[in-house]
């Protein structure tokens, strides 16, 4: 039974990981999208998170 239970657990783990990976959005996210997401996480969990700005990009980099 222990061998069968181990394979059952491995199978369940693989199914869970596969479904989690399918839910991920593998596209480029612009800085504005990332900032909006992080602000949402902070709004939902203000006691666990802090937002800090580490600076702005040079305007000459925009459009590249």
Whether residue 9 is predicted with pLDDT greater than 60 in this model: the reply is: yes
Predicted pLDDT of residue 24: 66
Rounded to whole angstroms, the Cα distance separating 13 from 58 reads 45
Structural domain count of the chain: 1
pLDDT in tens, 17-61: 777 666 667 778 788 888 898 899 999 999 988 998 887 777 776
Residue 63 located in a structural domain? no
Element (H, E) at 45: none
What is the domain range of residue 30?
25-52
**pTM of the entire predicted model:** 0.48
Predicted pLDDT of residue 39: 92
Whether residue 1 is predicted with pLDDT greater than 80 in this model: the reply is: no
- Using CA atoms, how far residue 10 sits from 13, 20, 29, 36, 64, in Å, is 5, 15, 33, 36, 45
């Amino acid at each position: 039974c222990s061998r069968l239970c181990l394979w059952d657990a491995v199978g369940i783990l693989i199914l869970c990981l596969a479904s989690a990976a399918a839910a991920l959005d593998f596209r480029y996210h612009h800085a504005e999208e990332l900032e909006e997401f992080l602000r949402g996480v902070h709004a939902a969990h203000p006691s666990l998170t802090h937002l800090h700005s580490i600076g702005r990009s040079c305007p000459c980099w925009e459009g590249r």
